Amino acid sequence: MRLLFSFLIVFLSANLYAQDTKSQAILDKLSLKINNYKTFYVEFSALIKNTSTGQNDNTIGKGWVKGDKYFATYGDNSIISNGLKTWNIAKDDKSVYESDSDNSEESLNPKKIMTLWETGFKNKYEKESKINAEIVHIINLYPKDVAKSDYHTIVLYISKTKNDLKKAIMKLKDGTIMTYTVVKLTPNLVIDDAKFIFDKKKFPDYAIIKD
């Protein structure tokens, strides 16, 4: 019995390691693909729900990325980064929040969203499934530092044949569930650098708030 028990422990541990190795290989392949893009445009739907607060928001996000520079829109709000400075533009209160770019904190950076598994998370292969008849890998992400993370779990859906991120479900500790579904991804398109320049003249009535 003791020998059988020991065998089961070894078997289960080896199987878990194999699953983690499998998920890491898939994520590494996807990271390599995205990081090799000189530029890309991404469009996605974002559904944010929290049953305890009654929140139920659905919006469309768009992002243009060129190296460390990006321009993104989320509903009525937008964010511009030239790689050194970042401008969060809030239409509702007519304010622009200017800060130094910090890639580790820019959760609205489209490239960070598309490669969010690269830092701060452990991963585990869950299973294969289907989205609209397309076979996808399902991979769970868990924060390495649970105490400092807002996330409980992140579930990734990655195309098995195309090696593309199809969907990400982010489960927060406060009960909020954010579901991002990639609608369109266009790599290596021509994007003028002017796209990533904040022009105060375009926002004459907005307050500029510097961090």
CATH number at residue 172: 2.50.20.10
Supply the pLDDT for residue 116: 83
CA distances (Å), origin 66, targets 15, 108, 118, 139:
40, 15, 19, 27
**Is the pTM value of this prediction over 0.85?**
no
pLDDT classification of 195: cutoffs 50, 70, 90: very high
| b/e code 143-167 from CB counts within 10 Å (16+ = b) | beeeeeeebbbbbbbbbeeeebbbb
User: What does 116-174 look like in DSSP terms, one character per residue?
Assistant: GGGSSEEEEEEEEEEETTEEEEEEEEEESSGGG-SEEEEEEEEETTT--EEEEEEEETT
Number of domains composing the chain: 1
Q: Which has more pLDDT, 18 or 204? A: 204
Domain hosting residue 185, numbered range: 2-210
* CA of residue 9 relative to chain centroid, distance: 35
> pLDDT confidence of 190, banded at 50, 70, 90?
very high
Percentage of the residues of the chain whose pLDDT score is greater than 70: 88
Tokens of 38: 């000189």
- 61 in Cβ contact with 178 (< 8 Å): no
Q: How far apart are CA 27 and CA 23, in angstroms?
A: 6
- Checking if the pLDDT of 14 tops 80, the result is no
